[in-house]
Amino acid sequence: MDYLTVFRSRRIGFIAVLAVMTAMALVACADEAADPTATTIPVATEAPAPTEQPPAPTEIPPTETPDDAMVADDDAMEHEHASVAVANNSDHGDILTDSKGMTLYIFDRDTEGVTNCSGGCLNAWPPFIVDETPETSDEITATIGTIDLADGTRQVTVNGFPAYYWQGDSVEGDTAGNGVNNAWWVFNTDGTPQRPAKVNVSADAEMGDILVAGNGLTLYIFDRDELEKSNCSGGCLDNWPPLLSEYGVVASDDVTATISTIGASDGSQQITVNGFPAYYWKGDVAEGDTLGNAVGNVWWVFNPDGTPQRPAKVGLGEHSDLGSILVDGAGLSLYLFDNDTAGVSNCSGGCLTNWPPLLTEYGTAALNDVTATLGSITRDDGTEQVTVNDMPVYYWLGDTATGEALGQAIGGVWWVLDPAGQAIRN
């Protein structure tokens, strides 16, 4: 029998003796009250005096601490020695978790060293709180640290960005928080988030609503690209970095263009807008910069529907019989109508069906060695028609490919134009 058991049994015996002596004294008191002549109280002579005092409380062995204290000690130990670990996820590969395998997340609205999750956000996304900087394994190349929160607690950071849990993850391996509101993402082992590329709409003071990437930088289309094919390479890519992604792409609700991806030359995925590759301009260094627009007359910003803010182009094309003639940006021949006057179009109704006007929403741009003066007039329907030396210009319905000038001399009133904008009448 151990020491504590012996002590408890002796203490019980001592209490029993005291109970007997108390009962005898009460009986004697009752007898004395019944017999007024009694002058003495009987003394119990059979109760043995205790031979051993109970040990002082400090003598209780330290291993006999209460169970709840043991639990509190365990929790404090685990909290103090929290660690960041790596888990292999079937959907995301190797990602960062806590020591229990619960997934950690980054919040896009945070900045380095600052949490912007508060109130109800914290109910849904509890921060990863520790007592000291967590331990990590060699396979984690991210920088793990902490920041002090307003309530005095410490939150774990990954490459300086606060780390959180998601309330919807209930067991290790859950990653239900990834992609919530297009703002929460799991971490790779190097601390980069598994964040898709983003395409958003931004309001520009001069250009109106245009497409930008998730970092706020303006996106551009390249006129020499083809549908789902990039023709920008080498030094072009140094000046015009493509918008790439390892994790797909998401678009904000106000983007009405079709956003997708194509395989890039390095094996990554380049973002496309209505099938055309999207790029940055190296000269844009801050949100709102649009310095790449119109560079070389081949780079343009996107509207939210994916159309480029491209001016109407007038350049030179070579015809086998007529020599150098004016063409549009796609190489189709342009024509002058003898019935027009300077600044006025007299082609309407069925005439416009056969001779569609060259229209523009974003002005004009002269290419090559065009020496004519370009401008525009406003038609009755509110559209802007391009003019060459103040005369409206048109296409011919029968021209379907570059180099064609099948509308030349039709009716004796339709003519192609030379580089100076004069009608070639032959």
Cβ(369)–Cβ(316) below 8 Å: yes
Q: Helix %, strand %, coil % for the chain, to 5?
A: 20, 30, 50
Does the structure show a pLDDT above 70 at 19? no
**What single DSSP character describes residue 424?**
-
pLDDT-based confidence at residue 107 (cuts at 50, 70, 90): very high
The radius of gyration computed from the CA coordinates of the chain, to the nearest angstrom, equals 43
- DSSP string of 61-99? -GGG--HHHHHHHHHHHHHHT-BEEEEEETTTEEEEEET
Q: How far apart are CA 301 and CA 305, in angstroms?
A: 11
Domain ranges of the chain: 3-60, 80-186, 197-301, 312-416
Candidates 138, 149, 134, 143; CA nearest to 161 is 143
Does the structure show a pLDDT above 60 at 55? no
Cβ(128)–Cβ(155) below 8 Å: yes
Q: What is the pTM of this model?
A: 0.74
Question: What is the three-class DSSP state of 28?
Answer: helix
Cβ(230)–Cβ(183) below 8 Å: no
pLDDT-based confidence at residue 82 (cuts at 50, 70, 90): confident
pLDDT-based confidence at residue 84 (cuts at 50, 70, 90): very high
pLDDT-based confidence at residue 54 (cuts at 50, 70, 90): very low
Biggest CA-to-CA distance, the chain: 161
Higher pLDDT, 1 or 374: 374
Q: Which residues pair with 341 in a beta bridge?
A: 344
pLDDT at 236: 98
pLDDT at 81: 54
pLDDT at 39: 34
The pLDDT tens digits of the residues spanning 233-291 come to 999 999 999 999 999 999 999 999 999 999 987 778 999 999 999 999 999 999 999 99
pLDDT at 266: 75
Average pLDDT over residues 373-381: 98
pLDDT at 255: 98
Higher pLDDT, 416 or 2: 416
Does the structure show a pLDDT above 90 at 13? no
Contacts 24+ apart (CB under 8 A), 5-11: 7/54, 7/55, 10/50, 10/52, 10/54, 11/54
Higher pLDDT, 244 or 14: 244
Q: Which residues pair with 83 in a beta bridge?
A: 135
The pLDDT tens digits of the residues spanning 194-240 come to 999 999 999 999 999 999 999 999 999 999 999 999 999 999 999 99
pLDDT-based confidence at residue 101 (cuts at 50, 70, 90): very high
Does the structure show a pLDDT above 60 at 183? yes
> Residue 217 corresponds to which tokens in the numbers above?
């930088």
Higher pLDDT, 290 or 66: 290
**What single DSSP character describes residue 218?**
B
Average pLDDT over residues 129-147: 96
